[in-house]
Amino acid sequence: MIRYYAVSQNTCGEVFNIESSSWINLCPPFAAGELDDFALKLGIESDFLTDPLDIEERARYEKYDEARSIIFNTPVINESDKENDPIFITVPMGIVLCQGKLITISSVENPVLEKFFDNKVKNFNPKNETLFILQIFEQTVRLFLEYLKKLNMRRNLIEQELYHSSRSTELQSLLRIEKSLVYFVNSLSANELLKLKMKRTDFIAVKDNEELSELFEDIIVDNNQAREVAQLYTNILNGTMEAYASIISNNLNKFINRLTVITVILMVPTLVASFFGMNVPLPMNLENSWVSFYLVIVFSLGFSMMLIWFFKRKDVL
């Protein structure tokens, strides 16, 4: 689906032809050959439009003739219903600059661009390509930080549940959070390297504009902060999961130990009853005596109580 946008009276709105637009957004579904036809119309390689649709595409920038392309990672909510999938994932977003148009491409409806559609970003104007790119970078970092806060809050709630009961449901939720953080750490690291390289080569021409240069520097610092926060949360979560794994293993060992002690205690009455139940003569003709049954009970309880006292003394039971 190809949609055209232009700014009129400080408000971004949709238009219906490429000539009057300054921003073009591409998002699936696409008709057969639609991207190839659109690339031909703009005079660019179709790879500029198809590469960002690959979920595994790496963050990079490139230039071909007069066209420039930037691909970076953005966070999105995972729509998968599988219980072991991460809560958030990252997908590539592409920005293509050609023929005075700014084109954004993403394989999903990207929440970063939703803020621009709703005119929630100040001083937003797609005609100012450099500022628009920096604003997209800025909103991407903010969305990463927002999702990181949500993940951390969810982790705290799950930990409180685990204090009361170590169920597999909570551990699976922690695993989903861990997978999300792995996505975030890798994507933020790739984005940071991309931005540092773009600033060093002045790919979007901010060097001669002090205000834009400072904004770009702030975005790089914020991206680095988001990466460090994601790494910190990952380390905390790894330590938490290891601690709970040790606690669960220790509780299991205690349970097995107590079960073994109880089995030994219950074995004694069975052993005593087996001796008296043998088909052999007993001393003092006890096999014919009415006290034999009570003797078995007394011996059984006596030995059991001695074992209980012994295990209590050794702090085993």
Q: Return the domain boundaries, the chain.
A: 2-250, 251-313
Distance CA 230, CA 182 (A): 8
Q: How confident is the model at residue 286 (pLDDT cuts 50, 70, 90)?
A: low
Distance CA 213, CA 127 (A): 18
Higher pLDDT, 6 or 133: 133
Q: For 56-72, how does the pLDDT look when each residue is reduced to its tens digit (9 = 90+)?
A: 899 999 988 788 999 99
Cβ–Cβ < 8 Å for 79, 65? no
Structure tokens at 49: 């439009």
Q: For 265-275, how does the pLDDT look when each residue is reduced to its tens digit (9 = 90+)?
A: 888 788 777 77
Q: Among 88-97, 159-168, 278-287, name the one with the lowest average pLDDT.
A: 278-287
Mean confidence (pLDDT) of the chain: 86
pLDDT at 31 over 90: no
Given 3.30.1300.10, 3.40.50.150, 3.30.460.20, 3.30.300.130, which CATH number is that of 2-250?
3.30.460.20
pLDDT at 251 over 80: no
* pTM across the whole model: 0.81
Q: For 149-205, how does the pLDDT look when each residue is reduced to its tens digit (9 = 90+)?
A: 999 999 988 888 776 666 667 778 888 999 999 999 999 999 999 999 999 999 998
Phi, psi of 75, rounded to the nearest 5 degrees: -85, 145
* Residue-level pLDDT at 189: 96
Q: Among 46-50, 167-171, 260-264, name the one with the lowest average pLDDT.
A: 167-171
| Residue count of the chain | 317
Q: What percent of the chain has pLDDT over 70?
A: 92
Q: How confident is the model at residue 287 (pLDDT cuts 50, 70, 90)?
A: low
Phi, psi of 125, rounded to the nearest 5 degrees: -150, 110
